[in-house]
């Protein structure tokens, strides 16, 4: 049974994107990297200033509305369709809705072989990375570090607090068959 989709779930600045790039380098076959940032970047700017879209509060809290959910559902279905037609996909996600977020992905990915990976990082370390990045609302990392993992059960967990992206990628790659 070959893994077709790898879903990485972790808070902002937890190191998911670095792990994704390293996974693409160490896995023997080509894998597409798609994530929640890909979705948000594809949306019109007006969606980032609307109650119906996605909003980033000054304290780092994120809220989404019905138009965002509609586009997200279509996007998730599209990612699943790519996997069903032979593309291997690594999903870089932030399950702000906890288990409800995962259920949306599980439904769409039904019948596919998925490796569910929790990417943990100490909130203080993630917050420091957030400041260094300079492209996130300060507070997102701290507010998301634990909440995205509540109620989650993973096939595998990695912790980037002290481990480098490549080390985490190699751990994940060992589970991909």
HEC-encoded secondary structure of the chain: CCCCEEEEECCCCCCHHHHHHHHHHHCCCCEEEEEHHHHHHHCCHHHHHCCCCEEECCCCCEEECHHHHHHHHHHHHHHHHHHHCCCEEEEEECCCCCHHHHHHHHHHCCCCCEEEEEEECCHHHHHHHHHHHCCCCCCHHHHHCCHHHCCCCCCEEEECCCCCHHHHHHHHHCCCC
Q: Which of 115, 132, 124 is nearest to 162 (CA)?
A: 124
pTM for the full model?
0.94
pLDDT for the residue numbered 133? 82
Marked catalytic residue, from 37, 122, 155, 159? 37
Residue numbers in the chain where pLDDT is lower than 50: none
Given this model, what pLDDT does residue 1 score? 66
Is 128 considered catalytic here? Answer: no
């Amino acid at each position: 049974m070959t893994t077709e989709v790898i879903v990485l779930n972790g808070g902002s600045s937890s190191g998911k994107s670095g792990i994704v790039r390293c996974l693409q380098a160490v896995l023997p076959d080509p894998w597409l990297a798609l994530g929640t940032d890909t979705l948000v970047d594809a949306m019109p700017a007006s969606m980032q200033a609307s109650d119906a879209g996605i909003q980033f509060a000054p304290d780092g809290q994120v809220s989404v509305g019905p138009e965002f959910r509609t586009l997200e559902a279509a996007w998730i279905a599209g990612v699943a369709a790519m996997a069903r037609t032979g593309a291997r996909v690594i999903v870089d996600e932030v399950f702000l809705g906890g288990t409800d977020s995962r259920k949306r992905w599980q439904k769409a990915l039904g019948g596919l072989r998925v490796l569910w990976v929790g990417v943990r990082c100490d909130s203080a370390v993630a917050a420091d990375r957030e400041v260094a990045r300079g492209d996130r609302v300060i507070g997102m990392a701290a507010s998301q570090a634990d909440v995205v993992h509540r109620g989650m059960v993973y096939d595998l967990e990695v912790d980037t607090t002290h481990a480098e992206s490549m080390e985490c990628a190699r751990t994940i790659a060992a589970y991909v068959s």
